[in-house]
Amino acid sequence: MPDPKPVHTQIPPSQQASRFARAREVQSRALLEDYVELIGDLIAAHGEARVADLAERMGVAHPTATKTVARLKREGLATARPYRGVFLTDEGARLADRVRSRHRTVVDLLIALGVPPEHAELDAEGIEHHVSRRTLQAFEDFLVRGQARSES
Protein backbone atom coordinates (compact mmCIF):
# COMPACT_ATOMS: atom_id res chain seq x y z
CA MET A 1 0.00 0.00 0.00
CA PRO A 2 2.02 2.97 -1.33
CA ASP A 3 1.92 6.64 -0.37
CA PRO A 4 -1.30 7.47 1.48
CA LYS A 5 -2.40 10.92 0.29
CA PRO A 6 -2.73 13.83 2.71
CA VAL A 7 -6.46 14.21 2.31
CA HIS A 8 -6.47 16.31 5.43
CA THR A 9 -4.84 19.27 3.75
CA GLN A 10 -7.32 19.22 0.90
CA ILE A 11 -10.12 20.60 3.03
CA PRO A 12 -10.45 24.15 4.38
CA PRO A 13 -8.49 24.64 7.61
CA SER A 14 -11.58 25.86 9.44
CA GLN A 15 -13.47 22.69 8.61
CA GLN A 16 -10.61 20.51 9.75
CA ALA A 17 -10.38 22.60 12.91
CA SER A 18 -14.04 22.00 13.66
CA ARG A 19 -13.50 18.24 13.43
CA PHE A 20 -10.75 18.40 16.02
CA ALA A 21 -12.87 20.72 18.14
CA ARG A 22 -15.66 18.17 18.06
CA ALA A 23 -13.27 15.40 19.15
CA ARG A 24 -12.06 17.57 22.05
CA GLU A 25 -15.63 18.36 23.04
CA VAL A 26 -16.52 14.66 23.07
CA GLN A 27 -13.43 13.86 25.07
CA SER A 28 -14.35 16.29 27.82
CA ARG A 29 -17.66 14.44 28.26
CA ALA A 30 -16.30 10.89 28.06
CA LEU A 31 -15.27 10.55 31.68
CA LEU A 32 -18.61 11.86 32.91
CA GLU A 33 -20.40 9.35 30.70
CA ASP A 34 -18.40 6.44 32.07
CA TYR A 35 -19.06 7.55 35.63
CA VAL A 36 -22.83 7.93 35.29
CA GLU A 37 -23.03 4.56 33.58
CA LEU A 38 -21.01 2.96 36.36
CA ILE A 39 -22.99 4.68 39.11
CA GLY A 40 -26.21 3.42 37.53
CA ASP A 41 -24.79 -0.09 37.31
CA LEU A 42 -23.67 -0.12 40.92
CA ILE A 43 -27.02 1.16 42.18
CA ALA A 44 -28.82 -1.47 40.12
CA ALA A 45 -26.54 -4.22 41.39
CA HIS A 46 -25.98 -3.25 45.03
CA GLY A 47 -28.56 -0.60 45.81
CA GLU A 48 -25.89 2.05 46.21
CA ALA A 49 -22.79 3.53 44.62
CA ARG A 50 -19.95 4.26 47.03
CA VAL A 51 -16.98 6.39 46.10
CA ALA A 52 -14.63 3.54 47.02
CA ASP A 53 -16.37 1.24 44.55
CA LEU A 54 -16.27 3.84 41.81
CA ALA A 55 -12.56 4.31 42.40
CA GLU A 56 -11.87 0.59 42.38
CA ARG A 57 -13.82 -0.06 39.18
CA MET A 58 -12.38 3.00 37.43
CA GLY A 59 -8.88 2.01 38.49
CA VAL A 60 -8.08 5.31 40.21
CA ALA A 61 -7.34 6.50 43.74
CA HIS A 62 -10.42 7.52 45.68
CA PRO A 63 -9.64 11.24 45.82
CA THR A 64 -9.73 11.13 42.03
CA ALA A 65 -13.21 9.56 42.12
CA THR A 66 -14.34 12.13 44.70
CA LYS A 67 -13.18 14.94 42.46
CA THR A 68 -15.02 13.53 39.47
CA VAL A 69 -18.19 13.13 41.53
CA ALA A 70 -17.87 16.80 42.44
CA ARG A 71 -17.79 17.58 38.75
CA LEU A 72 -20.85 15.39 38.14
CA LYS A 73 -22.67 17.37 40.82
CA ARG A 74 -21.63 20.67 39.27
CA GLU A 75 -22.96 19.48 35.92
CA GLY A 76 -26.27 18.42 37.41
CA LEU A 77 -25.78 14.71 36.71
CA ALA A 78 -25.41 13.40 40.27
CA THR A 79 -26.01 14.21 43.90
CA ALA A 80 -24.12 13.02 46.96
CA ARG A 81 -24.40 13.53 50.69
CA PRO A 82 -21.12 13.46 52.62
CA TYR A 83 -20.19 9.98 53.82
CA ARG A 84 -23.21 8.59 52.01
CA GLY A 85 -23.43 7.20 48.52
CA VAL A 86 -23.65 8.87 45.14
CA PHE A 87 -26.97 9.17 43.31
CA LEU A 88 -27.98 10.10 39.79
CA THR A 89 -30.29 12.98 38.98
CA ASP A 90 -33.03 12.32 36.44
CA GLU A 91 -30.78 13.79 33.79
CA GLY A 92 -27.89 11.64 35.01
CA ALA A 93 -30.03 8.51 34.92
CA ARG A 94 -31.21 9.25 31.39
CA LEU A 95 -27.64 9.81 30.29
CA ALA A 96 -26.57 6.57 31.96
CA ASP A 97 -29.20 4.62 30.06
CA ARG A 98 -28.23 6.15 26.74
CA VAL A 99 -24.55 5.50 27.40
CA ARG A 100 -25.15 1.91 28.48
CA SER A 101 -27.23 1.16 25.42
CA ARG A 102 -24.71 2.78 23.09
CA HIS A 103 -21.87 0.87 24.75
CA ARG A 104 -23.64 -2.41 24.04
CA THR A 105 -24.34 -1.51 20.46
CA VAL A 106 -20.69 -0.65 19.85
CA VAL A 107 -19.53 -3.90 21.43
CA ASP A 108 -22.08 -5.88 19.43
CA LEU A 109 -20.98 -4.24 16.20
CA LEU A 110 -17.32 -5.00 16.82
CA ILE A 111 -18.17 -8.61 17.63
CA ALA A 112 -20.33 -8.84 14.50
CA LEU A 113 -17.32 -7.68 12.49
CA GLY A 114 -15.23 -10.48 13.98
CA VAL A 115 -13.44 -8.83 16.88
CA PRO A 116 -13.02 -11.21 19.84
CA PRO A 117 -15.48 -10.25 22.64
CA GLU A 118 -12.96 -9.23 25.28
CA HIS A 119 -11.07 -7.23 22.70
CA ALA A 120 -14.30 -5.60 21.60
CA GLU A 121 -14.96 -4.51 25.17
CA LEU A 122 -11.50 -2.96 25.44
CA ASP A 123 -11.82 -0.90 22.26
CA ALA A 124 -15.47 -0.03 22.82
CA GLU A 125 -14.73 1.63 26.15
CA GLY A 126 -13.00 4.41 24.25
CA ILE A 127 -14.78 4.30 20.89
CA GLU A 128 -18.31 4.59 22.27
CA HIS A 129 -17.97 8.23 23.30
CA HIS A 130 -17.22 9.35 19.75
CA VAL A 131 -20.17 7.53 18.18
CA SER A 132 -22.80 10.09 17.22
CA ARG A 133 -26.53 9.40 16.98
CA ARG A 134 -26.28 8.98 13.25
CA THR A 135 -23.38 6.56 13.40
CA LEU A 136 -25.10 4.66 16.20
CA GLN A 137 -28.16 4.32 13.99
CA ALA A 138 -25.99 2.93 11.20
CA PHE A 139 -24.52 0.39 13.64
CA GLU A 140 -27.97 -0.69 14.76
CA ASP A 141 -29.22 -1.00 11.20
CA PHE A 142 -26.26 -3.17 10.31
CA LEU A 143 -26.83 -5.42 13.31
CA VAL A 144 -30.51 -5.80 12.42
CA ARG A 145 -29.59 -6.65 8.83
CA GLY A 146 -27.15 -9.30 10.00
CA GLN A 147 -29.74 -10.75 12.34
CA ALA A 148 -32.34 -10.93 9.58
CA ARG A 149 -29.83 -12.75 7.38
CA SER A 150 -29.01 -15.37 10.03
CA GLU A 151 -32.72 -15.95 10.62
CA SER A 152 -33.46 -16.67 6.97
Partner DNA sequence: TGAAAAATATAGCCACGGCTACATCAATGG
Partner DNA sequence: CCATTGATGTAGCCGTGGCTATATTTTTCA
Check binding of 108 to Mn ion (CB under 5 A).
no
Q: Which of 89, 93, 125, 146 binds its own copies (CB under 8 A)?
A: 125
Non-local CB neighbours of 97 within 8 Å, separated by 6+ positions: 40
Find out whether 114 and 123 touch, Cβ atoms under 8 Å: no
Site string for its own copies, 72-101 (x = CB under 8 A): -------------------------x--xx
Contact of residue 97 among DNA, Mn ion, its own copies, none (CB under 5-8 Å per partner type): its own copies
Site string for DNA, 75-114 (x = CB under 7 A): -----x-xx-x-----------------------------
SS3 string, 83-143, reads CCCEEECHHHHHHHHHHHHHHHHHHHHHHHCCCCHHHHHHHHHHHHHHCCHHHHHHHHHHH
- Cα separation of 131 and 69, whole Å? 24
- Cα separation of 1 and 47, whole Å? 54
Binding residues vs its own copies (CB under 8 A):
1, 4-9, 13-14, 16-23, 26-27, 30, 34, 37-38, 40-42, 44-46, 53, 56-59, 97, 100-101, 104, 110, 113-116, 119-123, 125-127, 129-132, 134-135, 138-139, 141-142
